[in-house]
Structure 1
Amino acid sequence: MNEKRKVWLAVGAALVGSSTLQADELKVTAHEHHSMSIIAPFEGGGEGEGEGSGAVDLRINDSAYLAQLGLIRGHLYVGKKLYDQGHLAMAKTHMKHPEDELYTALVPAFQARNVAGFEAELTALANAVNDEQGDAAVNNAYDGLVAAITAAEQIPQKSVKSVLMSLSTMLLTAAAEYDIGVKQGTVVNVHEFQDAYGFTQMAKARINELTATQRAGNTAAIEEVNEILAKLPELWPTITPSGEVEGDSGPLYGAAARIELATLN
């Protein structure tokens, strides 16, 4: 999938604010995003130019910022999982470089938020995998990168609403990826199928990063979102599929919509 489209999908749900939005509407919106002109999300902060385009400022929009970091996490997570399973060629395709558009869009946000980026850590992991430096090097590089991303996220300093909305955005993006990866029950694009898996797993994991203080003031919403995530069906019987799979993107779109509604109650 074109990385600029991923950038748009990563921030697009941050613009969605209607309490009447349903899963079908989310699905239409996601497909419309594929044809939009992309305005770099850190440029300006108002309306973008081009048909249907807009801009979200990652320097100040916490939900979009966290979603963008979540997509990077998802790429790396599935890449590491593929590596651990011995699928080296596939793993290499998911390893992000600092020049990648997903990371590049975050650089001004890191500067504005006074947090360190993770360019060196991304490079170290990409080199460890691509140069086949061995398990110890890959594991060390991955652990260091995850720690650096966690430091950049600053989850304890974010509002619970921003964190939960980032999960909605990540699932919306995962649904759009699943639509690209699976057509009429047949896997036609393994890479996008894998991306959808990584984004979903990272959305599920992120809610566990909320602190006790954050949870204490938002118990009902967090419990509702936990239940939504727990009820997601298993859409990935394997991350290296061929042929037919059972499942479609509908549950992902539905979960994204329900999580958004949970943040508005």
Structure 2
Amino acid sequence: MGEMETLPVEKRVAFMSGHVVAGLKLFRAGAPDQAAKHLLHPVSETHQAERAGIDKLGFKGEIFETVSKALDEGKPATEVEPMLKQAEENINLLQKNAGGDPADIILYLMATVDEEYEIGVKMGKITDPGEYQDAYGFSVVALRIAKQIKGKNTKNLVSSLEALVKLWPENGPLADSKPTSVERVTNHTAKVVASLDSIK
């Protein structure tokens, strides 16, 4: 993803966070094999450009490497869960330290949801589980960002993002899910974008 290098750090962190959120949900849904690539994303060689400048925000790559190793070795959930908590805390810290304009980040995430969902779902079937799962993660990250906005009327924004997240199964974006149609997802992301006006 060449454009990653030119994206501001807060958007790269949001993108990375989406992968981690998807991975956490999948692991907790009992699919460690599906979770692994998402949780490895922050330290994967192929996504090196994404990490430019995030160390100074408090990024701890070793946490994600440990998680990845534990998943590879098939460690039990009881052992992995404390590591996942650390990974979650680290990604939350990065988001906090990256700052940025929430409306701008949510707008970026919605465009990314559209793009990835359209790759992940074709003709009513999941054709690329990774992208279907990423789109879920980005939706959740956008919702969390919206909930943290202070001093603005975020009611419509939060409710439209909650409705978007509900388009994935409650137990998580598992590869064998019956997906919502692309049209329905893009209609919901459009509602989110429209409701951003209230916080600009």
Aligned residue number for residue 254 of structure 1: 190
What's the TM-score, normalizing by structure 2? 0.80
Aligned residue number for residue 185 of structure 1: 124
Q: Which of 136, 144, 159 in structure 2 is aligned with 1:197?
A: 136
Q: How many angstroms does 1:148 deviate by?
A: 1.6
Paired with 2:179 and 2:44, the residues of 1 have a C-alpha distance of 34
How is 1:105-144 mapped onto 2 (pairs within 5 angstroms)?
Answer: 105-108=50-53, 110=54, 114-144=56-86
What do residues 41-77 of structure 1 show as CA deviations (whole Å, max 9, x unaligned)? 2xxxxxxxxxxxxx34x3xxxxxx3332222222222
- Mean alpha-carbon deviation: is it higher for 169-178 or for 255-264? 255-264
3-state SS, counterpart of residue 164 of structure 2: coil
Q: 1:224 to 1:107 in 2, by over 3 A?
A: same
Q: How many angstroms does 1:91 deviate by?
A: 1.9
More helix by share: 2
3-state SS, counterpart of residue 57 of structure 2: coil
Paired with 2:188 and 2:168, the residues of 1 have a C-alpha distance of 12
Q: Which of 78, 82, 86 in structure 1 is aligned with 2:26?
A: 82
Give the aligned residue type for 2:88: V
Q: Is this contact kept in 2: 1:228–1:258, CA < 8 A?
A: no
Q: How many angstroms does 1:244 deviate by?
A: 5.4
Count of equivalent residues: 195
Q: How many angstroms does 1:180 deviate by?
A: 0.6
Paired with 2:195 and 2:48, the residues of 1 have a C-alpha distance of 26
Paired with 1:145 and 1:95, the residues of 2 have a C-alpha distance of 9
Give the aligned residue type for 2:122: K
3-state SS, counterpart of residue 232 of structure 1: helix
Give the aligned residue type for 2:186: G
Q: 1:258 to 1:145 in 2, by over 3 A?
A: same
3-state SS, counterpart of residue 105 of structure 1: helix
Q: Is this contact kept in 1: 2:116–2:132, CA < 8 A?
A: yes
Q: Which of 148, 151, 164 in structure 1 is aligned with 2:93?
A: 151
Give the aligned residue type for 2:22: V
1:226 paired to 2:158: yes
Q: 1:208 to 1:103 in 2, by over 3 A?
A: farther
Q: Is this contact kept in 1: 2:160–2:188, CA < 8 A?
A: no
Q: How many angstroms does 1:150 deviate by?
A: 2.1
Report sequence identity in percent: 17
Q: Is this contact kept in 1: 2:125–2:178, CA < 8 A?
A: yes
Aligned residue number for residue 235 of structure 1: 167
Q: Is this contact kept in 1: 2:33–2:71, CA < 8 A?
A: no
Q: How many angstroms does 1:149 deviate by?
A: 1.9
What do residues 137-181 of structure 1 show as CA deviations (whole Å, max 9, x unaligned)? 3111111112122222226x846xx12221221122111111011
Paired with 2:178 and 2:89, the residues of 1 have a C-alpha distance of 37
Give the aligned residue type for 2:83: A
Give the aligned residue type for 2:50: A
- Mean alpha-carbon deviation: is it higher for 172-181 or for 231-240? 231-240
Paired with 2:103 and 2:77, the residues of 1 have a C-alpha distance of 34
Paired with 2:178 and 2:71, the residues of 1 have a C-alpha distance of 30
3-state SS, counterpart of residue 245 of structure 1: coil
